[in-house]
Amino acid sequence: MEWAGAFGSAFGYQEFLKRHATPEQQARWQAVYDRVTLTPGQRELLGGFVREMHVFCVTGAWCGDCVNQCPIMARIGEQSPRIVVRFADRDADPASQQALAMNLGHRVPAVVFLSEDDQECGRYGDRTLANYRQMAADRLGPSCPTGIVPPGPELLSAVTAEWVGQFERIQLMLRLSKRLREKHGD
């Protein structure tokens, strides 16, 4: 997959919602966005990133998992000018949807982390471990939550921490990359 083009044609958080979400969906996303808080340590960590990273998320405004996770990614991206997060609608971008298929399914959110020159560094998505643990503990509910009821504060905090960890992992990969260290002279 040629990620530079996909990333370049994707949208920032607000623009994605304007283009792809109904007013009701926008309200659901906003409700989660308003509840996402990063700890002072998380904000300091993210604010200290030195390598630019591109984060490309294939999502769906209708998807409950996306409602509960994409606002977290948007908040993370706000913490550093080195983090550029872009969103693409799963159904409007079939090539990216196919390239990010998981377990032979088109699950969302699906994220590919890219270097500053759009080289793939890692993938993550669908649900975090905390989400899967909660689903296993509950053993009920739809296989794809509606996003009507936002996650409780403990789950939201755990999922936020997991996403921050993924951003940190890729930042360290970029920071320690021989290729990028030579390019930046550090």
| Tens of pLDDT, residues 90-125 | 999 999 999 999 989 999 999 999 999 999 999 998
Q: What is the DSSP letter of 149?
A: S
CATH number, domain at 21?
3.40.30.10
In the chain, the amino acid numbered 21 is: A
| Domain ranges, residue 123 | 3-184
Domain count, the chain: 1
Answering whether pTM is above 0.75, one says yes
Interior/surface letters 94-118, b for 16+ CB within 10 angstroms, e for the rest: eebbebbeeeeeebbbbbbbbbeeb
